[in-house]
């Protein structure tokens, strides 16, 4: 029978105090054999858990027999000393095992209970580690186990830079309303570190352009430098108002927040299309395609528009009234075959952008029949009519080129989260993410090797996650949250952390995280984009 010091060591390493900042790695070659140890021998962790376990078992035999009363060995990158605890009976004089082993590391020490077991059937460790693997990579302290939620409620406060015994209340002026909306920014989780540029911008801070019949405000990398691949705007049209005939050098993707909007477009082959987008629907115009928009019905139309560019500058948009106001009048008449007449003498002298109009017919009866036919892939997609993918805690709808063929450069998901639920830990493999929050209160942490930072979001806020950065979105409010995840890609793709671990060899996962077989087996091998959780009121 042997004492599985391997398991005692695992427990001690997990519970030991933090290592010194300037520890020097010790890789001492092993001179030990499987049959005997001397007090001066060093044991080096082998490449495999099995051989390392066998070597530790041999060391335990030496301790039990009394031939070794104190032995040091190296578990790279750490040097560890193991000996029977003082005051315990000698292993040579008694068949009883030493009840504990002391583990010394630098200026720190700790202890772990020995485990009595046979050489063929390892016993479970008190640390919770599964005994079928030796966690030779368990070289740092475990996490604290603190949920690390927001330091105060968005609804009630008080908003102070204080959390977990750190920080101090304000003693000078501060913008209380902004502080109240950003609990994880004012008092960040202990897991935040390093520096990542701001991944939040509120459309409420965007410059507002007021026009006859509506307004527009925008976000781009001039206000959020992290967002260098996509820019967005919110446009409002009063009933009947027209967003004038125009085109862009880049694609336009739109989600309708409210109301009904009629669109028309003509492509390079002279084919046309007509459609109506309702609340929750999308439209998409490829680069260079001329189009117009008009609010229909009795209610205003409001929509969020995305461009695949970091800078939302005017040079990428071309308005027909602006162009014709800058064409010599004789050239303009010649182009339309009306030279010498009074035709086109009333064209605007400058751009209109948005202007009032009468609500159009809803059936598109006034759309001319194009001799060249209709554009084959419709530019309007009825996302509002999609059946969502349902999860315990929320829903997800995905629209990309697989079900909306016209949308070749932008993909999106509309996500709802019940209180306490979250969009699972994930990252996007091929694209950045531009996030627009429509309902509820959420927080999102983004991570790369240089830092991790947590942001809070309310309706009308924009989030941004560069390609491959790990992140989640959590509903920290008491009502349902709804937001858009928009990626500059043909298909909506992501990697689920849970699914990745579930499909990785279990021994590798256990060695990384010190979890048992039951936990590994509980990981979902299918992608659960939404996971449930306790709401803020339940957790209080």
Q: Closest by alpha carbon to 360, among 243, 216, 215?
A: 243
Residue 420 in contact with residue 533, Cβ under 8 Å?
A: yes
How many whole angstroms separate alpha carbon 99 and alpha carbon 116? 9
Pairing of strands 422-427, 530-531: antiparallel
Q: Which residues pair with 263 in a beta bridge?
A: 275, 293
Distances from the Cα of 361 to the Cα of 334, 356, 385, angstroms: 33, 16, 22
Which of 255, 352, 350, 271 is closest to 306 using CA atoms?
A: 255
State yes or no: 23 annotated in a binding site.
no
Query: 22 labelled as ligand-binding?
Result: no
In angstroms, what is the C-alpha Rg of the chain? 32
350 is in an annotated binding site: no
* Alpha-helical segments (H) within 17-174: 49-65
Choose among 326, 316, 318, 368: nearest CA to 347: 326
- Residue 182 to residue 433: CA distance in whole angstroms: 21
Catalytic residue selected from 219, 244, 409, 485: 485
Q: Is 485 a catalytic residue?
A: yes
252 marked as part of a ligand binding site: yes
Distance CA 146, CA 139 (A): 20
CA distance linking residue 454 with residue 148, whole number of Å? 11
> Can you read off the two tokens belonging to residue 524?
């979902």
Q: Is 471 annotated as a binding residue?
A: yes
Query: 54: helix, coil or strand?
Result: helix
230, containing H or E segment: none
Omega before 392 within 30 of 0, i.e. cis: no
Sheet with strand 214-219: strands edge to edge: 208-211, 214-219, 231-237, 301-307, 252-258, 282-285, 380-381
In whole angstroms, how far apart are CA 420 and each of 156, 186, 247, 307, 423? 17, 21, 42, 32, 10
292 is known to lie in a ligand binding site: no
Cα–Cα distance for residue pair 89/68, rounded to 1 Å:
14
What single string gives the DSSP state of each residue in 422-488? EEEEEE-SS--EEEEEEES-EEEEEEETTEEEEEEE-TTEEEEE-TT-EEEEEE-SSS-EEEEEEES
- Could you give the CA distance from residue 189 to residue 452 in angstroms, rounded to a whole number? 10
Q: Which 3 state secondary structure label does DSSP give 211?
A: strand
Active site residues: 485
Binding residues: 246, 248, 252, 291, 426, 428, 433, 471
Binding residues for Mn(2+): 246, 248, 252, 291, 426, 428, 433, 471
């Amino acid at each position: 029978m042997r004492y599985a010091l391997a398991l005692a060591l695992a427990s001690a390493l997990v519970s030991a105090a933090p290592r010194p900042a300037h520890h020097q790695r010790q890789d001492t070659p092993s001179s030990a054999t499987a049959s005997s140890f001397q007090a001066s021998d060093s044991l080096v962790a082998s490449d495999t858990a099995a051989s390392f376990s066998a070597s530790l078992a041999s060391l335990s035999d030496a301790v039990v027999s009394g031939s070794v009363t104190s032995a040091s060995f190296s578990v790279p990158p750490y040097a560890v000393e193991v000996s029977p605890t003082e005051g315990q009976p000698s292993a040579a004089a008694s068949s009883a095992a030493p009840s504990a082993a002391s583990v010394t590391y630098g200026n720190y020490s700790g202890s772990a209970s020995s485990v009595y077991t046979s050489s063929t059937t390892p016993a479970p460790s008190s640390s919770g580690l599964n005994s079928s693997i030796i966690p030779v990579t368990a070289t740092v302290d475990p996490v604290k186990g603190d949920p690390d939620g927001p330091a105060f409620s968005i609804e009630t406060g008080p908003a102070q830079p204080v959390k977990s015994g750190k920080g101090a209340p304000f003693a000078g002026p501060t913008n209380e309303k902004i502080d109240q909306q950003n609990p994880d920014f004012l008092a960040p989780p202990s897991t935040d570190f390093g520096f990542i540029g701001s991944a939040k911008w509120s459309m409420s801070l965007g410059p507002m352009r007021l026009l006859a019949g509506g307004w527009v405000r925008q976000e781009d990398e001039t206000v959020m430098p992290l967002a260098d691949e996509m820019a967005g705007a919110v446009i409002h049209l009063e009933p009947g108002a027209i967003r004038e005939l125009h085109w862009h050098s880049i694609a336009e993707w739109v989600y309708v927040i409210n109301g009904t909007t009629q669109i028309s477009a003509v492509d390079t082959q002279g084919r046309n299309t007509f459609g109506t987008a309702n609340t929750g629907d999308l439209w998409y115009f490829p680069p260079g395609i001329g189009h117009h928009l008009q609010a229909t019905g009795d209610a205003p139309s409001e929509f969020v528009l995305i461009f695949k560019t970091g800078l939302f500058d005017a040079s990428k948009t071309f308005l027909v009234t602006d162009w014709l106001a800058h064409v010599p009048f004789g050239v303009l008449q010649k182009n339309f075959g009306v030279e010498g007449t009074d035709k086109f003498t009333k064209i605007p002298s400058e751009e209109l952008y948005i202007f009032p109009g009468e609500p159009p017919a809803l059936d598109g009866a006034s759309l001319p029949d194009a001799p060249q036919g209709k554009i084959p892939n419709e530019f309007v997609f009825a996302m509002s009519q999609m059946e969502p993918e349902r999860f315990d805690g929320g829903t997800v709808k995905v629209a990309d080129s697989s079900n909306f063929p016209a949308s070749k450069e932008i993909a999106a998901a509309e996500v709802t989260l019940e209180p306490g639920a979250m969009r699972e830990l994930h990252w996007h493999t091929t694209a950045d993410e531009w996030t627009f929050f429509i309902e509820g209160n959420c927080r999102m942490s983004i991570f790369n090797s240089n830092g991790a930072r947590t942001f809070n979001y309310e309706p009308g806020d924009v989030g941004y996650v560069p390609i491959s950065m790990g992140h989640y979105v959590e509903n920290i409010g008491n009502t349902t949250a709804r937001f858009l995840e928009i990626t500059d890609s043909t298909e909506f793709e992501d990697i689920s952390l849970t699914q990745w671990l579930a499909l990785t060899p279990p021994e590798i996962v256990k060695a990384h995280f010190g979890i048992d077989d039951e936990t590994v087996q509980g990981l979902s091998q299918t992608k659960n984009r939404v996971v449930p959780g306790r709401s803020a009121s339940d957790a209080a």
